[in-house]
Structure 1
């Protein structure tokens, strides 16, 4: 009832302007657009709690994982740990650039304002997502070299080549973000209205606000689809070859390598969760192409000539937008669990500080107990004398 009363303050379909809401009452355009995206006010507190918990969990697990790897001298030289540190850095950038802004929009019940922070969020988010995608692709290749070409592993993956690979990952990711930012300004000019039509400055929202630049949309979709396809092909090739080698190792003994099969299935499932935001974005792009629009706003039903018809986001657009907001936080939460907890060396590195603290605590308790016993012995001797 409260949402219905608030929505009555927004006149979405005026004779003078059939694309922007005409505001009456206490709500401005950002509040009206928020109501069109989140008409059910009861779901907002639950969504805020989910995003806050996922944000805290992401900072916690990534911070602990990075701290354990940096402190471990044995793992500092290993290529997989170098890639993992790069992945953690990308995940932290993604969490910082996305979560606070979305939570702020939900708390204020307003859509994202088009400002300098919107550019920063779009640039940082794009760079971190591409960096994570290329990094997990390199990690799959690194595991393939380690398992299938163990003899030549250190010869192929030297420290110099590792540094070059990490540098190229960031050069590629930042270049993609820079080109996207430049192509965004090739549209017909952004709108005067500062309120965007989303809770996050994602590509669809940015392109709509900047006048639907065709070059930006084509470049983003082409590069994103090719990068996603390349990642899937490399991942499939690497783990298929590793599984075949593990399977061939036990064929003479007429046994099935169950461990290898479970490992491949586990990493395939985790890869699906990591790529879920990109899959949703690809689905969103396909939907916009079918419907003939790349905007978040679309006519939800037929009669455009009636002045009482409301122009609101389509149900599919809202669902994809909200799904993207939540799933963007999933990879930063699961990456440390996948690449740290499944590796015995990394688990020992993370648990080492806690074990050392436990040993020191036990040693301290023993010293205190010995001192107490000595005091009791000296006291008994004094009393006996």
Structure 2
């Protein structure tokens, strides 16, 4: 094992040696133009071709799976007359749309960088990716928060559910999600341009994530503080709303069976399942908030010095790739968690691929099963 580690370290030094030598030498202007900075930065992140080939397959599969699962679920919900009016599925369609935009915004670009063995260049497309990714993240956070509140109203205030979530209020909620997210993105984008951008240079990552963009824009302090503060506040509100809603639902479900001296195991398992899934959903945000906190505590200079070492760059590259994978996973599983896991959505997808002629007795059976399903707690 030690011999293998030494060989791998030697291979890394052999491949990145020319890049390090060019960095510390003063070459001619023509040499600097011909120097592939993006390729060298890519080698510092991932020096092993075998790992790159595996990552190409992983990101390609995640992109295809996300678009396929989200696309079919959105199509099934759109063609179902029974589900089109329900608030939970309207919010689910909003979440699916945001996930598809996020997948298109990240998946193809990461795969292209892996195939080209080069990092992204800082240009207009890079800024567009940064803006779109920021907007999608806030849409996801706000939508998940509203979905938890909707479930709370459905279970704990069932009598007033339809009078509270009217079609008009539902449309206003969905519209507010996009308006608020785009407004936050525009504010961050405006504050970001207080600095002077280094356009045309290679970045140190496979996507234009906030730290990379701020670095190439000269570290505008107002943009960095606003982004970190707003992101922390929205993540905290999402967590508090989610846990408040599901704890209250669990309490109501537990109180319903207290007279019978039994435990509502189904309600407890449902709460644990959704809490675990929301933790997985917000795990990239937790990692980002942690890295932002470390950045503020250590200082920009200390962090840049730490990233200058080859070993540390390899570790930073591993963290960068892990974060990208974590960002790509939730769009793949969101339709399964909030949609396909539900019997009504499965039936809608099943009818989507079935022939159009349906038997009346099957429709009566689906209506009965749907009524029994709606009578369940937390499902």
TM-score of the two chains, using structure 2 as the length reference: 0.85
Task: Could you tell me which runs of 5 or more consecutive residues in structure 2 were left unpaired when the two chains were aligned.
Answer: 1-9, 360-379
Q: How does 1:309-320 map to 2 (within 5 A)?
A: 314-320=313-319
Match of 1:62 in 2: 70
Specify which of 197, 207, 213 is matched with residue 206 of structure 1: 213
Match of 1:118 in 2: 126
Match of 2:365 in 1: none
Match of 2:362 in 1: none
Distance 1:286 1:316, change over 3 A: farther
Distance 1:91 1:294, change over 3 A: farther
Match of 2:326 in 1: 327
Distance (Å, rounded) in 1 between the aligned partners of 2:303 and 2:116: 20
Deviations 1:304-327 (A, max 9, x none): xxxxxx678645533332221111
Q: Retained in 1: the 8 A contact 2:45–2:313?
A: no
Q: Does 1:7 align with 2:6?
A: no
Task: Could you tell me which runs of 5 or more consecutive residues in structure 1 were left unpaired when the two chains were aligned.
Answer: 302-309, 361-385
Specify which of 248, 256, 269 is matched with residue 276 of structure 2: 269
Bigger-Rg structure (1/2): 1
Q: Retained in 2: the 8 A contact 1:127–1:174?
A: yes
Distance (Å, rounded) in 2 between the aligned partners of 1:207 and 1:24: 24
Match of 1:352 in 2: 351
Match of 1:291 in 2: 298
Question: SS of the residue aligned with 1:151?
Answer: helix
> Where is the helix percentage greater, Structure 1 or Structure 2?
2
Distance (Å, rounded) in 2 between the aligned partners of 1:231 and 1:287: 23
Question: 1:281 Cα deviation (Å)?
Answer: 0.9
Q: Count residues in correspondence.
A: 347
Q: Does 1:102 align with 2:110?
A: yes
Match of 1:228 in 2: 235
Match of 1:278 in 2: 285
Alpha-carbon RMSD: 2.5
Distance (Å, rounded) in 1 between the aligned partners of 2:100 and 2:323: 17
Specify which of 55, 68, 71 is matched with residue 79 of structure 2: 71
Distance 1:343 1:294, change over 3 A: farther
Match of 1:93 in 2: 101
